[in-house]
Amino acid sequence: MSNPKPLVTGDVFHGFAQGAFGRDHYDCTRIEAAGPDWIVARDADGDLSFASGERSLKHLIMVRDEDAVCTKVGGCPLEADDGTFPLTTPGGY
């Protein structure tokens, strides 16, 4: 992909996300804040993940684009059936 779409608020990373947030991270996360070289994502339990730097963000773009479908039983807790993204609050919904 020569010109990938940048990471934006609302983008979802599913499950393990190919290790993008570490080898012990297994929950789907959704970007809640993004800057020029960093992102903050939150899972359904309200836990935060942070990534920064060009290499990490390029990896996250690849993960977002290649892992577009959640493999969790019951689907992704961060995506509604109608394609909207429910808002999260600290500690969950």
Check the CA dihedral 22-74-66-57 and report its sign. Answer: negative
- For the cut 80, the answer to whether the pLDDT of residue 60 exceeds it is yes
Give the whole-angstrom CA distance, residue 16 versus residue 91: 20
What is the reported pLDDT for 74?
A: 74
Could you tell me if residue 62 is left (phi over 0), alpha (psi between -120 and 50 degrees) or otherwise beta?
Answer: alpha
Q: How do residues 67-93 score in pLDDT, each as one tens digit?
A: 877 877 777 888 765 555 555 544 444
What is the reported pLDDT for 33?
A: 94
Q: Amino acid identity of 46?
A: G
* Residues facing 48 on adjacent strands: 42
pTM: predicted TM-score of the whole model, two decimal places: 0.76
